[in-house]
């Protein structure tokens, strides 16, 4: 259960309380931004939620000359979060598409926001994430995936090619040795036979 209370002085106070099997389980204090666990099982849940923290990542996908940038935030609690796209420091809400804030199995939440951009303007965009678990809003810049994977694959293919060439050469040598072996043996025997005949003739 979550909501807000209107206090006597006119201010409001938000609250969130979770229950399990008809009993209090865990509550979140909006003033101190801390959890209050009702029992040992709730303390385990509290630790998971606190350790998870808020994580954000950016992804980019280019198709037909348009770069779609995605900013995904997950592992955050409480539910309320603001994910914004900025271009040159200016909020671009009118160009942003948002996903719903959905629950994870561990009681935290995840969401995403995307925006389309020209590939040549990708460095102008930043994703800003604001959440109660963060001391201040965080800006994320998109960085293309490293070419390291391509380099590793190229080296692996080159090594396999060298191994295949060496194995092929060794196999060819082996087959060549076997094919010439009997002929060479006959030639040696023939030479020995000639030598023996010459020995008989000279004797």
Are 179 and 202 contained in the same domain? yes
Name the least confident of 57-61, 137-141, 152-156, 195-199. 195-199
Strand partners, 97: 114
Domain encompassing residue 168: 146-203
Domain finish residue from 28, 52, 76: 52
Residues 59 and 126 in one domain: yes
Q: Do 23 and 88 share a domain, yes or no?
A: no
Which range among 103-107, 149-153, 162-166 shows the weakest confidence by mean pLDDT?
A: 149-153
- Residues pairing with 130 in the sheet: 82
What six digits make up the tokens of 178?
A: 């076997």
Domain count across the chain: 3
Integer CA distances (angstroms), 125 to 4, 48, 96, 97, in order: 35, 33, 12, 15
Quick one: 29 and 74 in the same domain? no
Determine phi and psi for 182, rounding to 5 degrees.
Answer: -60, -40
CATH number of the domain within which 72 lies: 2.60.40.10
Name, in order, each residue with C-beta under 8 angstroms of 148's C-beta and a sequence gap of 6 or more: none
Q: Which of 37, 19, 39 is nearest to 28 (CA)?
A: 37
Same domain (yes/no): 136, 58? yes
Indicate yes or no: pTM above 0.75: no
Give the residue from 14, 30, 52 where a domain finishes: 52
pLDDT at 200: 47
CA distances from 40 to 3, 9, 25, 36 (A): 25, 36, 10, 11
pLDDT digits (tens, 9 = 90+) for 63-86: 778 888 888 888 888 888 999 999
């Amino acid at each position: 259960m979550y909501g807000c209370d209107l206090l006597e002085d006119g201010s409001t106070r938000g609250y969130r309380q979770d229950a399990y099997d008809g009993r209090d389980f865990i509550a979140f204090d909006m003033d101190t931004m801390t959890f209050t666990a009702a029992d040992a099982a709730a303390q385990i849940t509290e630790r998971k939620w606190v350790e998870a923290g808020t994580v954000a990542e950016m992804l980019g996908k280019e198709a037909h000359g348009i770069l779609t940038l995605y900013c995904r935030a997950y592992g955050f609690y409480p539910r309320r979060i603001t994910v914004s796209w900025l271009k040159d420091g200016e909020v671009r809400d009118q160009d942003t598409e948002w996903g719903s804030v959905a629950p994870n199995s561990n009681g935290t939440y995840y969401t995403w926001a995307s925006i389309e951009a020209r590939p040549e303007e990708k460095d102008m965009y930043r994703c800003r994430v604001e959440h109660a678990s963060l001391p201040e809003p965080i800006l994320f810049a998109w960085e293309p995936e490293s070419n390291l994977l391509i380099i590793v694959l190229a080296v692996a293919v080159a090594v396999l090619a060298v191994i295949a060439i060496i194995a092929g050469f060794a196999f060819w040598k082996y087959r060549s040795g076997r094919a010439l072996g009997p002929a060479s043996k006959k030639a040696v025997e023939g030479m020995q036979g000639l030598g023996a005949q010459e020995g008989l003739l000279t004797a």
